[in-house]
Structure 1
Amino acid sequence: MRSLVLKRVFDLIGAGLAIVLLSPLIAIVAYLVRRNLGSPIFFTQMRPGLGGKPFVMYKFRTMSDARDSEGQLLPDDRRLTQFGQFLRSTSLDELPELWNVIKGEMSLVGPRPLLMKYLELYTPEQARRHEVKPGITGWAQVNGRNALTWEEKFKLDVWYVDNWTLTLDLRILWLTLLKVVRRDGISAAGHATMPEFRGSRNG
């Protein structure tokens, strides 16, 4: 219980300071999203949080609303603009998630919140990633990010659940900064981000 309180205090202080210090940058990115992609400037989606409980996650938009002749949205890789690629490669699209941290729905560090439909596809071991709050960054993100397979990412997520310490969180945040500067592991080969998870091959 003490460790959970400590992590929450760390999240509140860290996210609060980040919002204050980065507010000019957040405002600039919001303006650029509006100018390049139009409204809305935020991408919102229901994601599973602690225990799989759904919450609304906020990000800056990175994709256009381009559609085919039948009015259907084009594939992600065709809607991801050069500007959107820049936001993703610098992780600037993640800045609105600081509000999710303030609200207590996310943590600065933890397994990334994925899609609700994946919940029924996890093995019992993989589902343990939801024993902690999802994070803006995580152990999998600093060890390969989207260049990893789903199974590799989930193993790293569960390792984090079993080995969390405040020192580990600080280390992950530092490594995240280095990853952002180097723009490593932004997407899987042949995909705008990651291919869809369809369940583990080993069941």
Structure 2
Amino acid sequence: MIKRLFDLLVSCTLLLALSPIIVITAILVRFKLGMPIVFKQKRPGLHGMPFYVYKFRTMTDETDSLGNLLPDHIRLTAFGSFLRKYSLDELLQLINVIKGELSLVGPRPLLMEYLPLYTEEQAKRHQVRPGITGWAQINGRNAISWEDRFERDIWYVENQSLRLDLKILLLTVKKVVRSDGISSANHVTMPLFRGTTSNHEG
């Protein structure tokens, strides 16, 4: 209950304080990338229940001759990279927090198709509401392996507290300013998760 009240107070305050930046970002996205301005995607939330996460669009809709979307690194524009560098594309997720779908701090919500690939231990990340930022984001973000990322997520689930959330939020601001760990090797974000070795044994 305290965590939820904290989420509501901070997210409403930030949404009001950052509203000029949000409006300007929306106008620039419309001018530089066209419509739609908002990218939304179904993600698993608490206990794996699906919801739509909101972000500002950072990529074009360019396709190949067969109509398939081109790779992310081709569709990601310089302007989109700027939005990602300073996490401006994530600002709309404050709306998800207000709706109760996200928390300010928690394991980042990933793709729905990853759900059957998790080990029993990795699936524990869904025992708490997902977050805009988390322990993995201030300890490597997209520059660490999936296994390391999940280990950090589970550590947070087992050690969560309001004091830890405050620490993570403060360190997140530092990470955003320094633009640490935005990309992994050879990818603009993270490579697709294919499951751990133990998922495929036997």
User: Is 1:127–2:137 an aligned residue pair?
Assistant: no
Counterpart secondary structure, 1:176: helix
Match of 2:154 in 1: 158
Number of corresponding residues: 199
Q: Deviations over 1:10-68 (max 9, x none)?
A: 00001000000000000010011111100010110000000000001100000001111
Looking at structure 2, the residues matched to 102 and 176 of structure 1 have their Cα atoms a distance apart, in angstroms, of: 20
> Counterpart in 1 of 2:169?
173
Q: Which amino acid aligns with 1:187?
A: S
Task: Kindly state the Cα deviation for residue 77 of structure 1 after the two structures are TM-superposed.
Answer: 0.7
1:10 aligns with 6
The Cα of 1:153 is off from its aligned counterpart by: 0.3
1:104-143 to 2 correspondences below 5 Å: 104-143=100-139
The sequence identity of aligned pairs, in percent, is 64
Q: Secondary structure at the match of 1:142?
A: coil
How far did 1:202 drift?
A: 3.6
Offset of 1:70 from its aligned partner? 2.0
TM-score by length of 1: 0.97
Find the aligned partners of 1:166 and 1:111 in 2 and give their Cα distance.
Answer: 15
Q: What is the aligned partner in structure 2 of residue 33 from structure 1?
A: 29
Mapping of residues 20-59 of structure 1, within 5 Å: 20-59=16-55
| Corresponding residue number in structure 2 for 1:68 | 64
**Following superposition, which runs of at least 4 residues in structure 1 exceed 4 angstroms of deviation?**
none
Which of 82, 87, 108 is matched with 1:86 structurally?
Answer: 82
**Aligned counterparts of 1:173 and 1:49: Cα–Cα separation in 2:** 20
TM-aligned CA deviation for residue 69 of structure 1: 1.9
Cα separation, 2, equivalents of 1:202 and 1:181:
37
Q: Helix, strand or coil for the counterpart of 1:143?
A: coil
Instruction: Give 1:36's aligned amino acid.
Output: K
Q: Matched residues in 1 for 2:193 and 2:44: separation?
A: 15
Partners of 1:201 and 1:194 lie apart in 2 by 18
Listed as ranges, the gaps of 5+ residues in structure 2 are none
Q: Distance in 1 between matches of 2:116 and 2:185?
A: 26
**Residue-by-residue CA offset, 1:112-131 (whole Å, 9 max, x unaligned):** 00000000000000000000
- How far 1:71 sits from its partner (Å)? 1.9
